[in-house]
Every structure is written in C-alpha cells, then in structure tokens.
Amino acid sequence: MAAFGSFALLIALALAAYNLFAGAVALRLIATGQPAAVSPERLADTARRAGIAVFVAVTMAAFALVWSVFTNDFSITYIAEHSNRALPGAYKFSALWSGQEGSLLLWAWLLGIYGFILRLTHKTDVKLYAYAGTILAAIQVFFLSILCFAAPPFSVLQGTIPDDGNGLNPLLQYPEMVIHPPMLYLGYVGFSVPFCFALGALMMRYPGEKWIKITRVWTMVTWLFLTAGIFLGMHWAYAVLGWGGYWGWDPVENASFMPWLTGTAFLHSVMMQEKKGMMKSWNVWLIFSTFLLTLLGTLLTRAGLVSSVHAFAQSSIGTWFVVFMGTVLAVCAFTYILQHSHLKADHHLESLVSRESSFLFNNLVLLTACFVILWGTLFPILSEYVVGNKVTVGAPWYNRVAVPIGIFLLFLTGVGPLLPWRATSFRSIRRNFVLPTIALWATVIVCFAVGVRPWQDGEFDTGNFYALVAFAVSAGVATAILSEFLRGAGVISKQTGKNLIVSTWLLTRRNTRRYGGYIVHIGVVIVVIGLAGSAFNRNVERELALHDKMSIGPYTLEEIGFTQDSNLNYNSDYALLDVYRNGVKQFQMTPEKRVYLASEQPQTMVAIHSTFEWDLYVVYEGTNPDTGQPIIKAFLNPLVGWIWAGLAVLVFGTLLALVPSLSPATASLRIPATRTNPTEPALKGGHS
C-alpha cells in the first residue's frame, strides 16, 4: 500500500504540473492570438481534465493512508508514529491529520476537492475558470512537491517493523478532533479558490464585476468552514486542555483568526465594489492577504517558529513555505503593477455618515485587529532578533490591546446597518438610533443593579468594565438589528395583511443576503455576550476525601467515590461527584484522568454540566502524592453556552445569505453594472 500511495502522489504531481504548464501555454496563446499546432482551446481543456484527474490521484493516496491505518501497517513510519492497534476506529481517521505528512496530505486532498468542483463548474465562465484552474494547479504543484520530496507520508520504516505503533497523541483522542481539523482545513484551503479567481481576473483584465460575485460566494462558503473550525477548536480546547478557558491567544489560534479577519473584511468591502464600483484594488489585496495569511499560519505552526499547545505537526518544511510565500507575493505584486490600470475605481462618497463610510471603518477596524494579532504573534521573534531577548506576549497583552478593538467592532456591527447608502439626515439618525441607545443605557442600569460594575470592593476591575461595555453595546446592537427586521416586516405586513412573523420571513426571503447578514451579526452579539461572561469566572480547588464537600456558586459537590477503569487503549482514574443545589441532588459528574498505554501520556477528561446561565466545569487533577487524596478543581464559567449558541445562529445566517433571494418585483428594471457582449466566444472573449 505504501508503494501504491507514493505512486498515486507522483501521478498527482505530474498531472498538476501538466495542468499548470498546458493551462499557462493555452492561456498565453489565447491572449496573444499566436498561431499554434494545437488548438489553444483544446489544450486548455486537456489541462482542465488533468486537474480533475489530480483529485482522483490524491484521493487514492489519501485512501491508501487511511487503509494503512486501519490495517495497522506499521511498516509505514507515519502509521507507526501516529496509530496503534487499540485505537478506536473514529480516531484512526484522525491519524490522517495528526502529524505533519498526513495533515499535508489532507490539505492536498481538500485542495483537490475544491479544484474538482471548480473545474467541473467551468461553464459558468470558461475563461475565468481556466485562469483560476491554472493558478490552483500551481498551488497543487507546491503541496504535492512537499508530499513527494520533503514530507512523504508513505516513507517506509527502516529496520524491524514494530508489533504496535506509538499511538495517537492523547490530546487528539476526543470526538471533536474528528471534525475540527477537517473543518478548519476546509476553511484554510478554501481561501485558495477566491485567491485564484482574484489573481486570474486581474491577469486577464476581467471585464465587469461578475468575478467578484463568483469570488464572494466561494469566500462565504470558505469563511463559514473557517468560522465553524475556529469555534470547534475553541470547544476542543475548553473540553480537553482542562484550564477552564477556550481561547488563550495561542499562536495557532491566532494563525486561524487572522485570515478570518481579512476574509470578513473582504465580505464587507466587496459590497462597495458591487454596489458602487469602489475599492477594487483594496478587495484584490484583501483576498491576496487572506491567502498569504493562511500560508503564514501554516508556516508559524509547522516550522516551530513559535511554541504552541496546538502544534502537533512540526518539522523543517518552513523553508518551502517561505519560498512559496515569497513567490506568491512576488506574482501578486507583479500582476498588480502590470494590471492596476484595470482596477481604476469610481471613488465617491456623498456623506461621511453613510453605509459606505461605515464599511470603510469596518475594514479599518478588522485590519487593525488582524495587525494587532500578527504583531503579538511575531513580537517575540522580533524582540529576540532586535535585542536578543525573547519575551512572552500572552493573554494580558491581548486583553489590553485587542479587546477594546473588538468592542469597537461590535459597535460598528450595530451602527453600519442603520446607516443608509449614499447619505443620511439628522432626522433619520435620530429615528434609527433612539431605540438602540435606550437599550444600551437600560442595560448599563440593569448591570449596575445586578452587581456588574467596573468597581469591585472599591477597586477598578478591567474585566468587569469590559464585560459591562460588551453587554451594553451588545444590547444596543441587538436592538438596532431587530428594529431593522421589525421596520421592514411592518411595511410588508401592511402591504400583504400577513402577520409579523410571516412578514419577517418574507422580508428575509426577498433579500437573503442582507437579512442573512443581519442574523450573522445577531450571532456575533450572542457570542460576545458569552465571551464577556468570562469576566466572572470562578474556580476553587480542593483535596476531597470520601464524602468531603466543596462549594462553588450555588452548587455543592460531594465526593462519593474514587475508582479506576481500564481498556486496551488507556487506564483511567475518575472521581464520582454528586452535585447538589439548594440541598437537593441534581446530577452526578465524573471527571477523569487517563493514561494512554501506547504513548504513556496522561490526559484530563473534564466533566462539564452546561446550562443557559453557566457551565459547571470539573477537573480531576490527580492525587496528592503525600496524602493519596484526589484533587478536584471546579470552575463556574458564566454564559459559555451562549458562545456555542451564537455559532449556531452565525452558521444559520451565513447559510441563509447563500440562498438566492426571491426575485423583487422590479428585477426587470435592474440595469447591469457593465454591459458585455453575450455572443463573445467563451475562451477567446471575456466571459460567457
């Protein structure tokens, strides 16, 4: 199977190289109109078909690796290092992305899937897709070259073949790890596609704005995967790492967050280009930057430049990524310099207070946030380089610098939708902002009344202050968005006589993109409320002998047993805790500590009881070596459930925004942004 997998990868590399070479030659011939022995259109089509075949070849390689894991083929180094016989089936799949070589193969396979879809749907716009497919082939050549020469997943073990493998890293033996990495990778890898469209459109001087619509849909899908991947990663960190938090500003977390921020900025600023023909260069560079940031994130986490609790796949492939990033940047800059006259935009604003301006400020804040995170991630390296002194840039720095920016961004989330396009009047501002302002101040008063104050025991508390501001702004933003829904639904209700709920649905269906976007904003508000809850986290740690009790918040935990268990994969110690509230037994919790037999590594299995109000989060930390008593640490984390609920709303809103709107009554009156000749030949002209 090792030979089959290696051969499949070599075939894939050859096909991708052909796709790149033949595609580039064909597009060059078409662009210059030079006569050639082979029809350029036919050559381009063979390139496209080769691209489709890349997917088949990489799929075979991925299958070979998975097959080898399931058949315990420890003659393959990767399998011996990342799997063992007793590993449960679902986690055998996880072995595919638990190490450097496997995760790169997953990357190449997902890229193959995206390429497959792109090349199959080429009839949407034959020439643009030909450009995009050829650029995508270049990216595939890079990843397949690494897999064939620098990090081969099928390298065979020298010497004696072991009876069993080292096993999977215990941190990865958790249900979310089966879904989180593929989801995150779908987001990471997916940004290659908008990048290819943007670069392709720039190379061919694409007429009109159709490419931006195609790119926007791909970006939204990718953004959705990345969002879900980030949140699943947060949940994994929360449930597995056992420190009671979900986001530690770790370099790997930051690496996934940066392209998310630039991708979000693009999804907003692209509307300026669609509606007003503005910010064309900016949008192109946003997409370029997003793709480059996905590469930078991969470099940071795999080259060992920064230390991280999430980095499971480090090696010396950093040089490959540095060279590739440099090449990508050079190609982007060169193409931009050559073609920037094509991106001349009609920049005009009628008012400083308008939807257009709000998009500009939204981009400003998102990009600043991205810079802050990049700066914080790279500053230790910079400091070591400049003054020879390595420093730590941890949560306290990010909390001081990034949190205020986040709150300002939340504020813009509410303000933007309230401002009309072009210009606004003082009367309109007053009408739109009265309710949100009332909601904001009412929340401040309620927060003060229930004890959420910036001052605790006569001292200023930064966490409480930020939480108070976050709650208040969230209330204002939620009111602003809901009032937008109600205002629109009210008009439809009057016109159709239908009730408000049906009218809201009709309103949403008429403009899914706008109202889907508003729902995404509501999701963001819910997430922020959940994040703000962390300011009130509490924890208590105690040694608990049998029938000892400990209290946290309204709960009392009683130790009723301490037992052990084992299976072929691990031995575990766990505590049995009865949980009481107001003297009444509510439920039982069993926090656990495992030691995996193959790797001999310990792992905490946290017990979590989630409610709308808070999470009771209990960690069994092990036994005190002096007394032999179990040590239990309990956390009461308010509002954590809101974060995961917010994700659900966010996903729903994005999916809704991807659904086409019902045609408005005046669709026939729409004037196309750019008139193009539909009879133009598909590949020789602009777009079909």
One-character DSSP codes across 653-683: HHHHHHSPPPPPTTGGGPPPSS---TTS-TT
Please say whether the beta carbons of 202 and 335 come within 8 A: yes
Choice between 411 and 580, CB closer to another protein: 411
Tell me how far apart the alpha carbons of residues 145 and 142 are, in angstroms, rounded to a whole number.
5
To the nearest whole angstrom, how small is the minimum distance from the Cβ of residue 666 to another protein? Answer: 5
Please say whether the beta carbons of 562 and 630 come within 8 A: yes
Choice between 44 and 234, CB closer to another protein: 234
To the nearest whole angstrom, how small is the minimum distance from the Cβ of residue 396 to another protein? Answer: 4
**What dihedral angle (degrees, nearest 10) is formed by the CA atoms of 297, 303, 309, 312?**
100
Choice between 12 and 557, CB closer to another protein: 557
To the nearest whole angstrom, how small is the minimum distance from the Cβ of residue 513 to another protein? Answer: 6
Choice between 123 and 670, CB closer to another protein: 670
Tell me how far apart the alpha carbons of residues 126 and 385 are, in angstroms, rounded to a whole number.
48
Please say whether the beta carbons of 647 and 527 come within 8 A: yes
Residue 585, class by beta-carbon neighbours within 10 Å (0-12 exposed, 13-18 middle, 19+ buried)? exposed
Choice between 14 and 401, CB closer to another protein: 401
Tell me how far apart the alpha carbons of residues 433 and 678 are, in angstroms, rounded to a whole number.
46
To the nearest whole angstrom, how small is the minimum distance from the Cβ of residue 353 to another protein? Answer: 10
Choice between 115 and 242, CB closer to another protein: 242
Choice between 175 and 396, CB closer to another protein: 396
To the nearest whole angstrom, how small is the minimum distance from the Cβ of residue 125 to another protein? Answer: 21
To the nearest whole angstrom, how small is the minimum distance from the Cβ of residue 215 to another protein? Answer: 15
Choice between 351 and 586, CB closer to another protein: 351
**Which letter, b or e, does each residue of 253-282 get, where b requires 16 or more Cβ atoms within 10 Å of its Cβ?**
bbbbbbbbbbbbbbbbbbbbbeebbbbbeb
Instruction: Look at phi and psi of residue 357 and say left if phi exceeds 0, alpha if psi is from -120 to 50, else beta.
Output: alpha
Strand positions, DSSP E, 599-646: 602-605, 607-610, 614-623, 630-638
Choice between 334 and 371, CB closer to another protein: 371
Tell me how far apart the alpha carbons of residues 643 and 599 are, in angstroms, rounded to a whole number.
34
Tell me how far apart the alpha carbons of residues 340 and 202 are, in angstroms, rounded to a whole number.
8
Length of the chain equals: 688
To the nearest whole angstrom, how small is the minimum distance from the Cβ of residue 368 to another protein? Answer: 5
To the nearest whole angstrom, how small is the minimum distance from the Cβ of residue 539 to another protein? Answer: 9
**For residue 422, what are its two tokens?**
């072009």
Q: Three-class SS of residue 227?
A: helix
To the nearest whole angstrom, how small is the minimum distance from the Cβ of residue 422 to another protein? Answer: 8
